[in-house]
């Protein structure tokens, strides 16, 4: 009995080991989100520097996310074969080089070219991060790992404009983007120093993913036949639409509806992101029971959708708009860790990287397409429709979460039969 207990304890990650891994992965994830928003705050400078329109600058971001989507789906296979650490290092290096490339660009086409490189770098993070978490973190701490992952992503988004805009004002946009590249290099060096924490034996990975010894039953693409995988993909597509609307149009639309001062409109996004990070901390504790994940996601986005409808149809002073955005962000943040556990419960043990690569590709597609739909509403002055549309998409997320659970249960029953 004692030898069995010793074996269990030796195979269980310690709190310190889990904390180190979660912290390092979270730091890398923050750089990923930081890189997604490093260009947008500098559009006024880039517009004049390259004599292009905002539509053309928006196309740079579209290229970034389309490439990221394709790479995200493909990199999952590479992670499953080679392990996550080398893929993570390549991703961070590509983001750093892309930032340096933006800084040195002398034409619009160079911006597009380095957006491709940035998209390649950004596309590796979710397959890498969740493979490390699911393989190395103790199951009892997975909810907290997902919580920290979401928090660092939100903080990366919040940091980008606060980092590049002051530097651009004080020096130039080129110095701002070069500084962003330096930041990515610093994080890469930190991860290299602590690379042993990120190690995942290749043979172990290959054995777990069916690439060692005898060939696994079925092919590498068999996971695409699992209905829950595609339900998760749809969930993240609509989740990305929510994030995109909040980041780009919802604060401005709410400002028009409630006569919010321009300074307060700018605060709404920051309040939303900070509150979302706080909600993820709380959501990490709630996610300790995987069986209630769908209910937590449904409740979180249900409250968020109700608050969006209040924004659309309520009559209240403009000073309250940032408060409502904060409450909406907190409710959405609570759902974050449970959202990630939904994907884990739908993932076959031999396809972690591949499933997360495909599922999270929905994020990039949603972020690429949502601005086209809601931007048209903004151009036509349909501000209430923007906020109502946000509530509708949040409602779709509720149905998607329960559909993931339903499809998964149906698949389990079928497999048992």
Neighbouring C-alpha atoms within 13 Å toward the C-beta of 102: 35
Tell me the two tokens of residue 293: 């994940």
- Of 157, 29, 134, the C-alpha closest to 88 is 29
Q: How far apart are CA 130 and CA 149, in angstroms?
A: 9
Q: How far apart are CA 254 and CA 306, in angstroms?
A: 15
Residue spans of the chain under pLDDT 70: 1-12, 201-224, 288, 290, 345-353, 405-417
Q: How far is the CA of 73 from the CAs of 218, 288, 318, in angstroms?
A: 19, 28, 42
Q: How far apart are CA 273 and CA 329, in angstroms?
A: 6
Helix (H/G/I), strand (E/B), else coil: 222: helix
**Tens-place pLDDT, residues 132-146:** 888 888 888 887 888
DSSP 292: G
**Tens-place pLDDT, residues 13-27:** 788 888 999 999 999
Neighbouring C-alpha atoms within 13 Å toward the C-beta of 143: 21
What CATH number was assigned to the domain covering residues 226-408? Answer: 1.20.1250.20
DSSP 350: T
Q: Report pLDDT for 56.
A: 83
Q: Distance between the two ends of the chain, CA-based, in angstroms? A: 36
Topology match between the domains 15-196 and 226-408: yes
Q: How far apart are CA 388 and CA 241, in angstroms?
A: 13
Q: Report pLDDT for 291.
A: 73
Q: Report pLDDT for 410.
A: 54
Q: Report pLDDT for 378.
A: 82
Q: Report pLDDT for 8.
A: 38
Tell me the DSSP string of 48-94: HHHT--HHHHHHHHHHHHHHHHHHHHHHHHHHHHH-HHHHHHHHHHH
Q: How far apart are CA 352 and CA 201, in angstroms?
A: 15
Give helix then strand counts, H and E, for the chain: 17, 0
Q: Report pLDDT for 348.
A: 63
Where do the domains of the chain lie?
Answer: 15-196, 226-408
Pick the CATH number of 15-196 from 3.20.10.10, 3.90.180.10, 1.20.1250.20, 3.40.50.10680: 1.20.1250.20
Tell me the DSSP string of 120-187: HHHTTHHHHHHHHHHHHS-GGGHHHHHHHHHHHHHHHHHHHHHHHHHHHHHT-HHHHHHHHHHHHHHH
Helix (H/G/I), strand (E/B), else coil: 335: helix
Q: How far apart are CA 413 and CA 314, in angstroms?
A: 46
Residues 6+ apart with CB under 8 A from 155: 30, 33, 273, 277
Phi, psi of 158 (to 5 degrees): -70, -35
Q: Report pLDDT for 360.
A: 74
Helix (H/G/I), strand (E/B), else coil: 220: coil
Q: How far apart are CA 120 and CA 200, in angstroms?
A: 22
- pTM above 0.85? no
Q: Report pLDDT for 27.
A: 95
């Amino acid at each position: 009995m004692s030898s069995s207990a010793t074996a269990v304890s030796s195979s269980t990650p310690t709190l310190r080991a889990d904390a180190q891994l979660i912290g390092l992965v979270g730091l890398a994830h923050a750089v990923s989100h930081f890189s997604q928003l490093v260009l947008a705050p500098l559009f006024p400078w880039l517009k004049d520097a390259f004599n292009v329109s905002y539509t053309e600058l928006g196309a740079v971001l579209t290229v970034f996310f389309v490439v990221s989507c394709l790479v995200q789906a493909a990199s999952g296979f590479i992670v499953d074969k080679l392990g996550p650490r080398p893929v993570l290092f390549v991703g961070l290096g590509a983001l750093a080089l892309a930032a340096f490339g933006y800084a040195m660009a002398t034409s619009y086409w160079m911006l597009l070219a380095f957006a491709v490189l940035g998209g390649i770098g950004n596309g590796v993070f979710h397959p890498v991060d969740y493979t490390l978490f699911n393989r190395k973190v103790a199951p009892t701490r997975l909810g907290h790992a997902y919580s920290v992952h979401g928090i660092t992503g939100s903080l990366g988004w919040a940091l980008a404009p606060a980092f590049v805009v002051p530097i651009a004002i004080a020096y130039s946009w080129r110095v701002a983007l070069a500084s962003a590249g330096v930041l990515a290099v610093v994080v890469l060096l930190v991860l290299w120093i602590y690379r042993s924490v990120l190690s995942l034996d290749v043979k172990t990975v290959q054995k777990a993913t069916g690439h060692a010894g005898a060939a696994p039953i079925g092919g590498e693409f068999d996971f695409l036949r699992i209905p829950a995988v595609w339900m998760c993909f749809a969930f993240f597509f609509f989740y990305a639409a929510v994030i995109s609307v909040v980041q780009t149009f919802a604060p401005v639309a709410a400002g028009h509806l409630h006569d919010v001062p321009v300074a307060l409109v700018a605060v709404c996004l920051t309040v939303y992101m900070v509150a979302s990070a706080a909600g993820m901390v709380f959501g990490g504790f709630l996610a300790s029971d995987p069986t209630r994940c769908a209910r937590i996601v449904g409740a979180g986005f249900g409250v968020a959708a109700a608050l969006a409808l209040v924004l659309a149809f309520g009559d209240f002073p403009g000073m309250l708009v940032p408060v409502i955005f904060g409450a909406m962000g907190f409710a959405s943040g609570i759902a974050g860790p449970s959202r990630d556990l939904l994907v884990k419960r739908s993932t076959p043990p031999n396809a972690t990287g591949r499933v997360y690569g495909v599922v999270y590709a929905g994020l990039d597609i949603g972020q690429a397409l949502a601005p086209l739909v809601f931007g048209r509403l903004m151009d036509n002055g349909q501000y209430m429709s923007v906020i109502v549309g946000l509530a509708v998409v949040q409602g779709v997320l509720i149905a998607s979460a329960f559909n993931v659970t339903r499809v998964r249960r149906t698949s389990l029953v079928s497999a048992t039969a």
